[in-house]
Chain A
Amino acid sequence: RKEVEQDPGPFNVPEGATVAFNCTYSNSASQSFFWYRQDCRKEPKLLMSVYSSGNEDGRFTAQLNRASQYISLLIRDSKLSDSATYLCVVNRNTGGFKTIFGAGTRLFVKA
């Protein structure tokens, strides 16, 4: 089992739809959490950090559930430009500090 797991998708949604991605992590010592976005053939870019209280940035909302060990990303009013792969990222400090990347969830937003 992978330490950070994501549904690979793809998610195919129409413009304007709301879409949600979940990510589960197995190490309860995980300390910080992020969502990255990666466009085709480009480097990953930080989308947002994920805080225990939940946080929102425009159309994007991230939530963390420590008890169930999952994080989520909600995208409202999807745009064509949201089409990308979304990576879930977890930092933890057991047996040394490590950053673990999920394999990503692909999103296609259609006109």
Chain B
Amino acid sequence: SQTIHQWPATLVQPVGSPLSLECTVEGTSNPNLYWYRQAAGRGLQLLFYSVGIGQISSEVPQNLSASRPQDRQFILSSKKLLLSDSGFYLCASKLAGVAYNEQFFGPGTRLTVL
């Protein structure tokens, strides 16, 4: 079965600072990978998804970007954080080639921008 690792678990950053969150997946090859953000008390917002190395689709225009340098590595970045970037960031993975399967989530990174 898949295991998704995310780090760091918590992060406090000043406004205007850069961001790099990393997600790695074990137990599967060529997964579909996803970045979500969840604001406090709210639902999941899909930010980016990737179906392969170097292939990134953006769902919401914003000051965040994503990259997939390796098959099982997905990175979320920002050059300058905004207060509104605070939230719970979740990486998810889904088996490729089986479109209707479920997604599995990593433990998340809780980001506070001050």
Residues of A at the B interface (CB closer than 8 Å) are 31-32, 34, 41-46, 49, 87, 89, 91, 93, 97, 99, 101-104
Contact = CB atoms under 8 A, between A and B. Distances in A.
B18 to A, nearest CB: 24
A87 B106 CA distance: 16
Interface residues of B, number: 19
B42 to A, nearest CB: 7
A43 B108 contact: yes
B104 A46 contact: yes
A44 B34 CA distance: 14
Contacts of B42: 103
Contacts of B104: 46
A72 to B, nearest CB: 18
B60 interface: no
A101 B44 contact: yes
A101 B42 CA distance: 11
A41 B102 contact: no
Contacts of A41: 88, 110
A87 B100 CA distance: 17
A40 to B, nearest CB: 10
B43 interface: yes
